[in-house]
Amino acid sequence: MTRPSTIRRLLAAVAVILIVVIYIVVVRAPDPLPDPPLPSDRFRVVSILDGDSAELRGGDQLRLLGIDTPEAGQPFADDASSLFRRLTADRPLRLTYNQNRRDRYGRLLAFAYVDDTLMVNRVLVDSGLAWLYLHHDQDNTTSEFQQLLAAQQHAIDHRVGVWAEDHPPESHYLSSPNSFRFHRPKCRHLDGLAIDRWDQFPTRSAAMRTGLSPCRTCQP
Ligand SMILES: [Zn+2]
């Protein structure tokens, strides 16, 4: 039979253990670290820099992903900038990303949505004021890129915006199977290369219908 003094000692021991446990768990336990703040995906445009880039509130720059627009001074450059400005004026942007969130200049590389569903990148392509400009460091198979390509094919077929312009035609255009650019046959980037197995296109738009974009040197 257990004596009352033994029970008291047992209870006292249990109490001490409980106090130690409570001390360790409640008093000594470090505060859990707060979750790192999630980067907001909502942005406001402060100013439009050109047809495909803008300055955002907070100091970041945005470069619309997957497209290129006419450079300043070229036809349709102002139209692209003003459409970009109209689309984003007083409306928050939601940004989504592909594999790389920033380009080598530190700009955010993103698909930009207004009203949550309207993709600015795509509206520019729909309007013939931008064209696809792909890079190997992104996953170009996603639905966003497929949307952009479909929009570009539609704009080419309907000769909207830049697609209404005539370019002095070459006999053909060339593209390396490993590249997203295409060239005039005499482009200096082709010098000394074995181009026998390169893809050939009869027209500029035939190349661009596949998602290729013009070389910035020979500007086909
Ligand atoms: Zn070229």
Which residues, in sequence order, are CB contacts of 48 under 8 Å at separation 6+? Answer: 54, 81, 84, 85, 88
Residue 78 has a pLDDT of 98
DSSP SS3 for 196 = coil
User: What is the arithmetic mean of pLDDT over 75-90?
Assistant: 97
- As given in the structure block, the two tokens for residue 26 are 């409640």
Ligand 1 centroid–CA 145 distance in Å is 23
Ligand 1 centroid–CA 187 distance in Å is 4
Domains, the chain, in order of start with CATH, read 42-141+159-163 (2.40.50.90), 166-214 (no CATH)
E strand map for 61-161: 61-64, 67-68, 93-96, 108-114, 118-119, 131-132
pLDDT tens digits for 93-113?
999 999 999 999 999 999 999
d(CA 30, CA 15): 23
Ligand 1 centroid–CA 179 distance in Å is 11
Ligand 1 centroid–CA 188 distance in Å is 7
Is the model more confident about 156 or about 22? 156
pLDDT tens digits for 106-161?
999 999 999 989 999 999 999 999 999 999 999 999 999 999 999 999 999 999 99
User: What is the arithmetic mean of pLDDT over 18-37?
Assistant: 55
Q: Which of 22-31, 35-44, 98-107 is predicted with the least confidence, judged by mean pLDDT? A: 22-31
Ligand 1 centroid–CA 114 distance in Å is 35
